[in-house]
Amino acid sequence: MKVYGIVNCNTVKSARAWLDTHGHRYEFLDYKKTPPTPELLARWCIAFGWENVLNRRGTTWRMLDSKVQKGIGDEKSAIALMLAKPSIIKRPIVDSGKTLLLGFDETEFASKLRL
The pairing of beta strand 93-95 with beta strand 2-5? antiparallel
Known catalytic residues are 9
Query: Does residue 8 contact residue 31 with C-beta atoms inside 8 Å?
Result: no
Dihedral sign computed on CA atoms, order 50, 56, 57, 60: positive
Q: What is the DSSP string of 4-64?
A: EE-TT-HHHHHHHHHHHHTT---EEEETTTSPPPHHHHHHHHHHH-HHHHB-SSSHHHHTS
